[in-house]
Amino acid sequence: MVQPQVDGSIQFELFMPDARDVRVAGTFTGWEERAIRMDGPDEGWWTLCLHLPQGEHEFQYLVDDGVWLADYAAHGVKRNQYGLWVSLLRVEAAPVPAASLPAARAA
């Protein structure tokens, strides 16, 4: 699953207790070329927190250098040009903290 964080980063989480290695690969990594290793497993969960550019991204999890998995709890899935399911991720602009907004003026 993917979860936006308060600081604008994205938390990736995958439950794979028997995996030896899990990586995130996608349009933001050049796919397998620069796949990013996730931390884990912590009680079976693999995690990774990334700051990604605003926009639409596609990704999959690469498990033990051979199994590609889509994340059906992401922002959607679609078939890629190879007929495989890839996950969709929408990164919105990071929210502006209320403390940094200018105070409203009285009319």
2-93: what fold?
Answer: Immunoglobulin-like (2.60.40)
Apex 75 CA angle, 4 and 41, nearest 5: 60
Q: What are phi and psi of 36, to 5 degrees?
A: -105, 125
What is the percent of the chain where pLDDT is above 90?
71
Predicted pLDDT at 86: 96
pTM to 2 decimal places:
0.82
Predicted pLDDT at 37: 97
Dist. CA 2–CA 93, nearest whole Å: 16
Q: Which amino acid type is present at position 95?
A: P
User: What are the residue ranges spanned by the domains of the chain?
Assistant: 2-93
Residues of the chain with confidence (pLDDT) below 70: 94-107
Q: Which amino acid type is present at position 80?
A: N
